[in-house]
Amino acid sequence: MSLLNRLHEAREPVFGTRLRVMILLLMQGAAMGLTPETSTFKVADDGTWLQITAPMAAEPGFQVAPQGRPEAALFGTVSREGSTMTFHPAVPLLEGQAYELRWKSPEGREMRLVRHFKRQAMSAAAPTVRMSPQGTLPANALKFYLHFSTPMEQGIFLDRLRLLGEAGKEVIGPFRETELWSPDGRRLTVWFHPGRQKTGVNLNEEEGPVLQAGQKHTLAIAGSWRSTGGVALGEDVRLDFQAGAVDHTMPKMDRWQITAPKAGSQEPLQLDFEEALDPAMLLSALKLLSAGRELPLETPEISAEGRRWSVRPRRPWPAGDVELHANPDLEDLAGNSLLKPFEVDASQPPSAPDDEVGQRFQRRFTLR
C-alpha cells in the first residue's frame, strides 16, 4: 500500500475530510533507503501536532521548518516512542504553508531526509481586530492591546503594524520588539518603545515621545496579516485614537464610583474609574468578599475605553457588607499603579513604610 493511500485512510475519520496533504518525496530520501512503504505521516486538522513514523537515529536532530528555510525551525515540543516522532508546535501550523521535516537516518549520515507537506487553505471568514482601550491614551502610555477574532500568525507583528501621526506621517520605531500573546493566540500586547515614553531617557530627549499630546494618531494594520488558519485580514485596518495629556498620577481607589445591585439579584455590580485602567489587568485584579469569603463571579466586562468594570455573580448577591479588594499592582495606561507612580524621582528619599498600605486597596459597601 502506498504512503498516500495510507495517509488517505489515516485522516478519515480521525483527521477530517477537509484536510488535504501534499507529500513530495525527494531523491535523497530514496538514496537513504527510505521508501513510502517504510514511513507514515499524520497531521491534525487544526495544525496543533504532526506525527511521523520512520527509521531514524537515536539522536535524530528532528526539526520542522517552513519550506526552504531550515534556519527558521519552529519552536515546539517533541516526543518519541520507538520510531514514531510527534511534534507539537508552539503555534499551530499555518494553512497553505509548506513545511519541511528533517532528521538523521539510523546510519547517522549528515544527509538529511526531507518531507514536504502543505495543509491546503480552507474557506473561512476573515479575522477581525479591535484595539483596547479605545478613544484616548495618555501621551506617555506604555502599551495597548489588539484583540483578534481568531488565533493569529506570530513572529511578524512589527512588519504588520505602523503608527501614523496626525498629518499621516509614519512614526519611526514606535514599538518595543517584545511580542506577548495570550495563551489562546487572540490577544497581542503591543508596547510603545519605553526609551521614548519615559521622561529623562536619552531616546525621549533625542527623538521625542512616540505620542504627541493633543493629536490624533492612527494604528495601521496590514491586511496581509494571516490567522493560523491561513486567512488574511483582507483590507488594511486603520484604528484611530487620541493622545491626551501625560499622566504621572497614581490611580486612587477611593475615587471609584460603586453602583451596587440589589441583594438577592444577579444584576451586575459596576465600578466607574476616574481614568482608564489597564483592561487586561482588570480581568483578574479585583475580587469581592462577603463574611470573609470570596464571592464566585462571572468573567468581568470591561468597557471599550477601560473606565468601567462590571461583573455578575454566579449565585444571587448576598445581603450585607461586601468588601472590594484590589491588587495594588493594578495600573493605569501610563504604568502608574495603586501602589506607586511609574516614574519616581531618584533624587528624593524613599517614602516611609505605610502601616495601613493593605487598607488602601479595600472598599466596603452594603448590599440591601
SS3 5: helix
DSSP string across 77-88 = EEEEETTEEEEE
Is 186 part of a structural domain of the chain?
Answer: yes
Query: How high is the pLDDT of residue 110?
Result: 63
Which amino acid is present at 309?
A: W
Chosen domain end from 192, 217, 244? 244
SS3 228: coil
Q: Which residue has the cell 495517509?
A: 7
Q: Rounded to an integer, what distance in angstroms lies between the CA atom of residue 236 and that of residue 361?
A: 43
DSSP state of 367: E
Tell me if the bond preceding 133 is cis, omega within 30° of 0: yes
Is 171 part of a structural domain of the chain?
Answer: yes
Strand duo 76-81 + 84-89: pairing: antiparallel
Is 60 part of a structural domain of the chain?
Answer: yes
Q: Is the pTM of this model over 0.85?
A: no
Indicate if 201 and 224 belong to the same structural domain. yes
Query: How high is the pLDDT of residue 320?
Result: 96
- DSSP-assigned beta bridge partners for residue 142: none
Indicate if 259 and 233 belong to the same structural domain. no
Which CATH number belongs to the domain containing residue 305 in this structure? 2.60.40.1220
**CB burial of residue 22 (10 Å; 0-12, 13-18, 19+):** exposed
- DSSP-assigned beta bridge partners for residue 22: none
Chosen domain end from 86, 118, 150? 118
47: left (phi over 0), alpha (psi -120 to 50) or beta: left
Helix H or strand E segment including 320: strand 320-326
**Which residue range(s) make up the domain with 361?**
253-367
Query: How high is the pLDDT of residue 138?
Result: 96
Q: Rounded to an integer, what distance in angstroms lies between the CA atom of residue 38 and that of residue 166?
A: 62
Indicate if 335 and 362 belong to the same structural domain. yes
Indicate if 68 and 87 belong to the same structural domain. yes
Is 124 part of a structural domain of the chain?
Answer: no
Q: Which residues contact 132 (CB under 8 A, 6 or more apart)?
A: 144, 145, 147, 279, 302, 304, 306
DSSP state of 313: B
DSSP state of 260: -
Q: Rounded to an integer, what distance in angstroms lies between the CA atom of residue 22 and that of residue 56?
A: 22
Q: Tens of pLDDT along the chain (368 residues)?
A: 333 333 333 333 333 333 333 333 333 333 333 434 456 888 887 788 888 888 888 888 888 888 888 888 888 899 998 888 899 988 888 777 788 888 887 887 665 656 555 655 556 789 999 999 999 999 999 999 999 999 999 889 999 999 999 889 999 999 999 899 998 999 999 999 987 877 766 566 566 789 999 999 999 999 999 998 888 999 999 999 999 999 999 999 999 999 999 999 999 999 999 999 999 999 999 999 999 999 999 999 999 999 999 999 999 999 999 999 999 999 999 999 999 999 876 555 555 445 444 457 999 999 99
Indicate if 109 and 200 belong to the same structural domain. no
- pLDDT tens figures, 186-219: 999 999 998 787 776 656 656 678 999 999 999 9
Is 123 part of a structural domain of the chain?
Answer: no
Chosen domain end from 190, 220, 244? 244
Q: How many domains does the chain have?
A: 3
Q: Rounded to an integer, what distance in angstroms lies between the CA atom of residue 157 and that of residue 187?
A: 12
Q: Rounded to an integer, what distance in angstroms lies between the CA atom of residue 97 and that of residue 120?
A: 8
Indicate if 11 and 84 belong to the same structural domain. yes
Distance of CA 62 to the CA centre of its chain: 28
Q: How big is the chain, counted in residues?
A: 368
Q: Rounded to an integer, what distance in angstroms lies between the CA atom of residue 309 and that of residue 280?
A: 11
Which CATH number belongs to the domain containing residue 102 in this structure? 2.60.40
- pLDDT tens figures, 312-353: 999 999 999 999 999 999 999 999 999 999 987 655 555 544
Inter-residue contact 308 to 270 (CB < 8 Å):
yes
Inter-residue contact 246 to 334 (CB < 8 Å):
yes
Inter-residue contact 367 to 280 (CB < 8 Å):
no
Q: Rounded to an integer, what distance in angstroms lies between the CA atom of residue 259 and that of residue 268?
A: 9
SS3 347: coil
